[in-house]
Chains A and B, each alone.
Chain A
């Protein structure tokens, strides 16, 4: 849940739209650049427990600072549903012990900063990007909002009303709304089912004390990670970070552990009416978690099935003269305790039933697909398309491209420091390179072949 606003002129496709930075960068793809130096990055932990990663990126005079806090919708109960998102809003907009919300806005403006925050299932993110000359402001601003917030009932009530507007906006956005419903059903019984934005009723009942207690407990250095990417020297930046954040104190919150998410016990097929002319379809299935060795095969499989030019699922739904869908995109989202594959499709409403049936049937059969010429015996091998090689090329391109945006890298690094359990020894692209057709059939069988799917359709209102 992004807290600032959606850009004009872009259809919001949650997951799919954010898939590249979240998916690609979360896996450490920023490491694959052809130009390397052992001096470009530094990792350290401050005495207070704050994890810090610094990465020089000196081609643009910008500094990007991202903080990740180990607090997400997974940590909520039905009574506190939406509280992390409310807190995230409050932190971004409503003021600290020394500055009011309008003071912060003015400061942001004066320094040419981009300032935003996101709430996810596992973590909350707070990011700022400034011209390199304003680096001190960026660091002190992040310290101020993360560790010196002032929470009042009056400011909270104001922000709650804005969040209720966000809720209405969500209800008008077909893909965003459908993806939210898909998550709630895919992870039913697990904390990942908690809606990121909460429910209007729960939001209205949240008090300043509830929010403050959440803030006091989780916004402490040992529960946070800070990544800084941009135009600076490592030595200088380390000194600045130590100076600004070194004095912050706070005890680590009690350890929390969550069970791995299980596949849904039964399928779900939901339809919601909106004032739209086309049908919007989201199909969701479980997927490997953030640290699973199967993530590489799932990345490749997602690429083959639902990205790029004429992916397999698109071709399966549009064979010969029969054309069931117009657009299709697959996203793989990995979290600490589970993952999801989501297909986003647009189509003619009259094709909805056939598209749902055919899409699920095809996904179930994916475990039997030939992904590489090596899978095919005899002469036919010469004419077979190499989906595996194509997808690996795509992922390689994604990896290189991901290096170009400093803020996305900072967010990914911050996420990585908290979520990664450190068991993998392999490099990302090397792991991708090692994926074989059999691995794809393996993850397809495990995650797509024998599970119940969650399907959410947004359809035109019947009165239209």
Chain B
């Protein structure tokens, strides 16, 4: 392909890709006879298909003391017992991953479009008739326990989980989708089977596609392979208690070179407007150069990493502003972070800051949803949050919507200093 003869070697003999515009109409939604929701965004940019099978409920639907059940059940629903069939799937180069979230769990499938049909043939068979034997349940539980420890080996993840637990204790939102040692030990095969029967029903499942294949083909495949799902009833999730953490500070010890310092805030339930406001705030606070947190790095030299993380769930959200700093400067970092947050609360955002934050937020969304895989995840997330998959189409103008007064009212409502939860993780320090 690339010759050394002549300057235009990069062009000689190339197969050059063109990238047709993303369809303006965006994703289309259909409902199958068994209540199954089908969403497709046609995307001709590559001969690949991404499918996310989203099962509503997620961690929030788990019975008390059974954290991890949603992830475990979903994982077992694609755990193929027949080694021949498993090898068939491997041969097709079909990738499968499981995502556990507050309001849903998902099976994320990526494959060559030419291999979609045989992949669905293998996967749907086990999905519709999974095997929940004790041995299989135990094997996946063991893996989940391992993943819990891996999460805890990372201070950023550990801090995130600590904040979720503090704000959402008593609801499924309050912890890792992998559960914990005690909850996993409590889960029996019967729990898995019951959870499957109540949540893996047509009216509770969304098939979300991004593909170069035509809608008729995908609808036909969905009908062929998932029509056997019973319609069932849509899940009615438990309300999430409006608890406030007490005390407002968490200190976890890790013998690390750096300390993790965060300020976390509970945000309101998901709505299109709230989501737009939260993402603007996230960008303004901690996304890259020019953000409110940035001077902690560029001027105060406190950190290599400053960041702001938004976790939006249907009944509430979590905003974390954080930095990782030299352990010896932990106190200075705490003070500096408090100053940034109280500065924002007291003075609010300025007009030009809001304008820049909106521009940056819009551009970030374009980049984040450029590839099919992330776009499907975003469509499915919006649907599971109750905002509708089509929010993606209007997200950019929605970000433009809130004016300065509305944004600052939001800041005053949710970022008051007394509402902050401080999480500090690092080496033991002298009192």
Contacts and interface: CB of A to CB of B under 8 A. Distances in A.
Interface of A: 4-9, 11, 28, 30-45, 53, 55-62, 93, 101-102, 104-106, 108-115, 129-131, 158, 161-166, 168-169, 171-172, 174, 274-278, 308-310, 326-327, 346, 348, 385-386, 389-390, 393-394, 396-397, 400-401, 403-407, 413, 416-417, 420-428, 461
Interface residues of B, number: 91
Contacts of A129: 363, 367
B98 interface: no
A348 B92 CA distance: 31
A274 B306 CA distance: 23
A50 B228 CA distance: 60
Interface centre among B7, B48, B303, B325 (most CB of A within 10 A): B48
Contacts of A7: 307
A407 B11 contact: no
Contact of A36 (B15, B47, B301): B15
A278 B14 contact: no
B93 A394 contact: yes
Given A30-B17, A400-B46, A162 B363 contact: no
Interface of B: 1-4, 7-11, 13-22, 43-48, 86-87, 89-93, 95-96, 110-112, 115, 143, 146-147, 149-150, 152-157, 160, 212, 254-258, 288-291, 294, 297-299, 301-307, 309, 320, 324-326, 355-357, 359-364, 366-367, 370-373
A378 to B, nearest CB: 19
B30 to A, nearest CB: 24
Interface centre among B288, B303, B373 (most CB of A within 10 A): B288
B110 A397 contact: yes
A425 B17 contact: no
Contact of A401 (B18, B46, B86): B46
A104 B298 CA distance: 12
A39 B18 CA distance: 8
A5 B2 CA distance: 35
26 contacts: A31-B14, A33-B47, A34-B212, A35-B44, A39-B16, A40-B18, A41-B10, A43-B10, A53-B10, A104-B289, A105-B289, A105-B298, A109-B288, A111-B359, A162-B297, A162-B304, A163-B304, A166-B304, A169-B257, A169-B324, A393-B115, A400-B47, A401-B371, A413-B10, A417-B10, A424-B2
A56 B16 CA distance: 9
Contacts, number: 276
A414 B309 CA distance: 31
B114 to A, nearest CB: 9
A105 B90 contact: no
Given A30-B17, A40-B18, A58-B21, A162 B3 contact: no
Contact of A308 (B10, B90, B290): B90
Contacts of A8: 156, 160, 307, 309, 320
A400 B370 contact: no
A-B pairs with the 8 shortest C-beta distances? A112-B363, A422-B4, A109-B290, A33-B17, A393-B93, A105-B289, A404-B371, A400-B46
Contacts of B18: 33, 35-37, 39-40, 56, 58
Nearest to B22: A59
A407 B303 CA distance: 26
B153 A174 contact: yes
Nearest to A390: B91
Interface centre among B96, B325, B326 (most CB of A within 10 A): B326
Given A104-B289, A131-B366, A390-B91, A40 B4 contact: no
Contact of B255 (A60, A275, A413, A424): A275
A108 B110 CA distance: 34
Contacts of A115: 288-289
